[in-house]
Structure 1
Amino acid sequence: MPETGTQNSSTSIASQLIRELELNGPRPDPRTDTDHQSLVSIYPELGAISAVDITVPTPDGGVPGRLYRAPGEALAGFVWVHGGAFIAGDLDMPEAHWVSLYLASHGISVLSLDYRKALHGLKYPAPSNDVRAGWLWATENLSELGLATADDLHLGGASAGAALTAALTARLGDDAGQMPASLLLAYPLVHAKLPPLSEEIVKKMEGVPSDLVFGPDFIRDINLNFAGSEDIFSDPHAFAGSGDLNGFPPVYIINSEADTLRASGELFAAQLESAGVHVRIEMEPGSMHGHLDHPHSVPARNSVERMRRWLHNDRRLGLGPIVGTIQN
């Protein structure tokens, strides 16, 4: 997703990208080592995982999902939502598929969720409603995840998926719904406008490829495309960083190191701490935005292991306390 941080023409970069997707659909992934067969060949332990496509029923026709289960007892359950700027991404991208396979291979059952994209005039709250429907389905079908109660059911997402799941958590709190055991956010954007970048982030962005540099204009335009109106920018059910965070469950944030979106993750962690919420924030060294979509990289493999440890928690495995402190 190319971005220079400023508009170069009357048509914004975000608008060009949206138009291309509406006309031509997503570009095929040129990589030859991230499909399912390649992943299982490289990581044989993933071959034991059952991955079953489902459709979560909704008033609008259904949301695609995929259930991942390993043989034996489930230590926890996780509803996971991929990113893609609200306009791209699917259940087959490594950020969705490989992450789910990895977690399931360590005893964490996963419901990976898709959602309608903000294309062809579709706006908020449609994608948010899809994620809500998936979460409610999981809470009502715990046995499909190998769980007896919702006490071990967690929620999370990456990038735009993190925005959707954080906002859903705010909505569940306001609606007195079933809250997740914890919220796990990978390189999240939970604010409608990009917060100011620290000097450290600015320095880290030096040399980053232009298609991974998301400046304030791009962020505003892509969020406006999702929201439909700037009036929605202050709605915490769309952007959790704009609302009251009291009552949130424990939150774990994994930021990419060289990523402008770090500013949102870091601000959100500070907001959570101020609200008295248990939060842990970590930065993955050597990573750029979307690093979980690169399963053979060291940062991605380190991050999924961080996710595993968080979701297992010390309640069963004695890993020690993992909430209550901010760490960078």
Structure 2
Amino acid sequence: MNITFMNPVAEKMTGWKEQQAQGQPVGRIVRISKGAGGPLIDDLLQFDINENLHSSVERSLVLHGHHTALFDVQLAVSPLRTLKDEPIGIVLVLQDVSKSRELMRKLSYSASHDLLTGLSNRGSFESSLKKALNLTATQRQPHGLAFIDLDHFKAINDTAGHAAGDELLRQISALMQENIRNSDRLARLGGDEFALILFDCPQEEGLATLQHLVDKINDFKFIWEGNAYRIGASAGMTQINDANITGSEYMAQADMACYIAKHNGRGRVYKYEPAQKTATAHTSGAIPPEDHQSGTEVSR
């Protein structure tokens, strides 16, 4: 396991000249970790090419060059043996795959994120919803599921143009992201429609968080080309507490609650309650929904 030969590419990647590396333990010259900040691998023989190792570990290997850069690498170890099958050394092959891995990371990001706002897209959000339902089924965790719809967004798009609308969506997305927990999942479903999963969150806490988001949006002043614009948000929330209900049903509940909030005064939060035939406004000045609508309003 001491180095006897290095080609010019190995010298460039490791940062060691062959004459400096000769006789040195391979682990001192070739420093490879699992991920850029992960632990160093102390047994390179596990990557014996004859063992056909193709694992998530292999796809995350990083070479730490000596006073040089970090390289994403693929690694193969070929044992050298005598005719009597006695081990006499190894050939260690490192391939720089930094560009291809960066491309794969970008493709993976694009497939799961909204490119305008950087939030999760609908497909990624639906995967998170499946995760929430699984946690409800296995650990009985309750979660909050909310739909958030911007008020008066079309007016800004029509008045100031689509570039202004895009910038507004970016700023509102950042505003909401700053006011939720790292464990929560915020997504842009399309247009000015957003969805939020509050993982492991009791109902009252979820409603308070959602109301805080709506208040932040209602108070937000958007500046574009010297002009100030005001928007608002309407939101509906349902509680995920029954794993027998499908994700699409929960999304329909949150969508319905958001629809009621938007069409009964806007700028407020509405809680979905399927068993309740009428709704009660908790504060003065709120517009009560029609008798056939189900839910409870939460408003400033």
TM-score by length of 1: 0.25
Of Structure 1 and Structure 2, which has the larger fraction of its residues in strand? 2
TM-score by length of 2: 0.27
